[in-house]
Amino acid sequence: MANDSAVGLHDLSFATTEFVLPHTVLAAEKGVDVGKYHKGIGQWSMSVAAADEDIVTMGAAAAAPIIERHGSDGIRTVIFATESSIDQSKAAGIYVHSLLGLPSATRVVELKQACYGATAALQFAVGLVRRDPAQRVLVIAADVSKYDLDSPGEATQGAAAVAMLVGAGPALVRIEEPSGVYTADVMDFWRPNYRDTALVEGQESIGAYLLAVEGSWKDYTEQGGRALDEFAAFCYHQPFTKMAYKAHRQLLNYCGHAVDEERVGRDLGLTTAYNSVVGNSYTASVYLALAALLDQADDLTGRRIGFLSYGSGSVAEFFAGTVVPGYREHLRTEAHREAIARREPVDYARYRALHEYALPADGGDHRAPAQTTGPYRLAALRGHKRVYETTGGGRGASRPSARTSTAG
């Protein structure tokens, strides 16, 4: 049984998009060897959002199975982490709250700090549960990673959402203290309010990430954290999967360890399975890595996992989690694999059209094309208000009765 004094992840579920662009298609269009993507950055395909999908529809799809299994009793806080925000004022989580039919006695907030935001949300959730062990917190991380067409970052795009139920006596992973944290003011990746796509200084971003690995680990050890050899695996933020390998080699070097590629593969290998076919999911990335690890490993009971969360700009955190006994009974492995397998492949022309699609911003009444077969969709814009609805489709999870959510 789980230690009832512990706080951590009680459930974890993820969702991704309707469409997928294989990197073989991208390579053929660009006239490059596919090895540039498969071997160079470790990516095989990338999730592509339908015209009626966004962070809300993915976030709700990820969270619905958690509500189905556990109900909403005790969930007094929803924290939505994203860097693909759809509104400068209203939290995306409020739409999800409505779509899922959660109680009105709930606080809902949105957090932003590039790809790091979900880890801040998780740590805030742990603090809330420690203050009131009877409550549970729903943490949602959802993003659509989007770069300019024909830019160096195009091949790393992706989209996904991870929902996590945080509570006392966790069924999956106990979150440990302490954490190591690090902040530096750098312009390695950013998206001004007037742009739909991010700007990135590629080499500077890699360098900033590696410095953040060192800085957060240094603080972690100074706060009394575990030794490197105590960890069975490491979940890194994966803007592309090979970046996790670069980061781990940096950590090994920093700690005075020889870079043994067999060890690197053992520490990271199982964590990249989902990210390599989904692409960069920004805030969800670290926890998509955790899902892949838990779904594939033989048995991690009692083993420690290291988490390195990085968000450009930059903020990073290193912390540890311990896998609790009986965790495998609570995994959603089949549903996770189905979420990936069900995506419809698109050709480059279809992908490009989806990339360039945007609903008009004139405040009129505009229906979104009906494309997703998922449980929730962006139905329209009406008077500058986003309108969401449930659908007759879905990914195998039962859903609340049909409802519509609008911004007011």
**And the tokens for 90?**
């209203």
State the Cα–Cα distance between residues 201 and 85, nearest whole angstrom. 22
Is 115 known to be catalytic? yes
For residue 47, what are its two tokens? 């999730």
Q: pLDDT at position 400, please?
A: 36
144-159, pLDDT tens digit by residue?
A: 999 999 999 999 999 9
Residue type for position 175: I
pLDDT digits (tens, 9 = 90+) for 139-197: 999 999 999 999 999 999 999 999 999 999 999 999 999 999 999 999 999 999 999 99
Please tell me which residue in 10, 23, 53, 115 is annotated as part of the active site: 115
Buried-exposed string 72-97: b where 16+ CB fall within 10 A, e elsewhere: beebbbbbbbbbbbbeeebbbbbbbb
The candidate with the shortest Cα–Cα distance to 357, out of 88, 93, 48, is 48
How far is it, in rounded angstroms, from Cα 93 to Cα 301? 33
Percent of the chain at pLDDT > 70 equals: 95
Active site residue 235: no
Q: What percent of the chain has a predicted confidence (pLDDT) above 90?
A: 93
Instruction: Verify cis geometry, omega within 30 degrees of 0, for the bond prior to 314.
Output: yes
DSSP code at position 73:
T
- The per-residue pLDDT of the chain, averaged, comes to 95
Q: Which of 237, 248, 336, 355 is catalytic?
A: 237
Q: How far is CA 313 from the centre of its chain?
A: 18
Gap between the Cα atoms of 177 and 5, Å rounded: 13
Residue 242 CA to chain centroid, in angstroms? 17
Band (59; pLDDT cuts 50, 70, 90): very high
Closest alpha carbon to 209 in 320, 312, 317? 312
Q: What is the pLDDT of residues 341-357, one digit of tens each?
A: 999 999 999 999 999 99
More confident residue, 348 or 405: 348
Catalytic residue among 83, 110, 176, 317: 83
Read off the pLDDT of residues 198-228 as tens digits, 9 standing for 90 and up: 999 989 999 999 999 999 999 999 999 999 9
pLDDT tens-digit profile of 8-58?
A: 999 999 999 999 999 999 999 999 999 999 999 999 999 999 999 999 999
291 contacts 340 by C-beta, under 8 angstroms: no
Q: Quote the CA–CA distance of 20 and 39 in Å, as a whole number.
A: 19
Question: How would residue 392 be classed by pLDDT, with cut points 50, 70 and 90?
Answer: confident
Strand partners, 149: none
Whether pTM > 0.85 for this model: the answer is yes
Judged against a pLDDT cut of 80, whether residue 398 lies above it is answered with no
Rg (CA), the chain: 20
Domain 7-345 listed as CATH 3.40.47.10: yes
The structure tokens listed for 15 are: 């969702």
* Buried b or exposed e, range 51-65, using 16+ CB within 10 angstroms: bbbbbbbbbbbbbbb
Neighbour tally for 227: CB within 10 Å: 8
Q: Give residue 404's pLDDT band: very low, low, confident or very high (50, 70, 90).
A: low
**257 among known catalytic residues:** no
**273-277, 279-283, 357-361, range with the lowest pLDDT:** 357-361
Q: What is the pLDDT of residues 270-279, one digit of tens each?
A: 999 999 999 9
Q: Rounded distance, CA 300 to CA 283, Å? A: 24
Q: Cβ(141)–Cβ(161) under 8 Å?
A: yes
